[in-house]
Amino acid sequence: MKVTIDKNAGFCWGVVRTIDIAEDSLKDKPKVFCLGDVIHNTVEVQRLNNLGLETITVEDFPKLPKGSRVLIRAHGEPPATYKLALEFGLELVDATCPIVIKVQERVRKFVDKGFQVVIFGKKNHAEVVGINGVTGNTSIVVLNKEEALESVDFTKPTVLFSQTTMDKQEFKEVADALRQKLDTLVIGSIEETAVEYHAKDTICGQVSGREKKLQLFAAENDIIIFTAGRKSSNGKVLYHICHDVNERTYFAETKEEIDWSWFEGANSVGITGATSTPHWVMRDFKRLIEEKFGIEEEVL
């Protein structure tokens, strides 16, 4: 049996940046607080917890000593969080992914122009909460084209954005559905004027760009072990990309979740994960599988 780690898997640069900032913040402070899990990966969160990074929520602000250092993770936060931290005298360390910051800036420009903002994403996801906060919590958050068609006011100028970790094809379906609806509304009426509409594909290229390489990797192996945090949105997207190509794709957040019956008849095993899955986690999976089946580790 051959066990291979996907060379294209591992942290995206935004996550690498956030982890670096978190570790740097802990160098001169024994305790740093993080608003929510620093990334959506349980084992990496635990590693950083052991170094002194404690996960909190905004509701914990009143309990923190004045001057406490609080990390804003890659997903970002709404403007209200910054204001509240200032009121409580907290030191904010902003590790928001630059791509997410750019989305927030673009959204703000459309809000200033009076546009109705539609976000393709998960309503309670931290990134969407932050983007929605930029609109004054007035955006319409949808998960599919059906929700979009039911929720959008087609008399208003509209702009569609996406959570950065969503599926590109599903975004296109929502964008096209809104476009077609607007076109239909003005057919046959010379007095009626179509409202202005824009669809902005703000899905991270490191998520969508992995699709073809991931499909090839899934096809090259008898089985795929996909490891990611269960809260990871891009993990869900990438897992399904694998599974669509190779039905013997199995999800395991931790090594303890491995079912050894998965490996029956397999000659090649591929290990991959989300953009928030550390390489050290995938190496641990590989080591465990090789030990279980008595495979000598390949020396490069």
Active site residues: 127
**Bridging pattern class, strands 91-94 and 69-72:** parallel
Dihedral, CA atoms, 290, 291, 293, 298, nearest 10 degrees?
40
Query: 23-32 contacts: CB < 8 A, separation 24 or more?
Result: 23/48, 23/51, 25/69, 25/71, 25/93, 26/51, 26/52, 26/53, 29/69, 31/68, 31/69, 32/69, 32/70, 32/71, 32/93
Within 10 angstroms of residue 201's Cβ, the number of other Cβ atoms is: 15
Within 10 angstroms of residue 207's Cβ, the number of other Cβ atoms is: 21
Phi, psi dihedral angles at 140 (to 5 degrees): -105, 120
Q: Which of 234, 244, 216 is nearest to 275 (CA)?
A: 234
Within 10 angstroms of residue 291's Cβ, the number of other Cβ atoms is: 10
Q: What angle do CA 230, 39, 271 make, to 5 degrees?
A: 55
Q: Which residues of 65-87 are buried (b: 16+ CB within 10 A; e: fewer)?
A: eeebbbbbbbbbbbeebeeebee
Within 10 angstroms of residue 296's Cβ, the number of other Cβ atoms is: 6
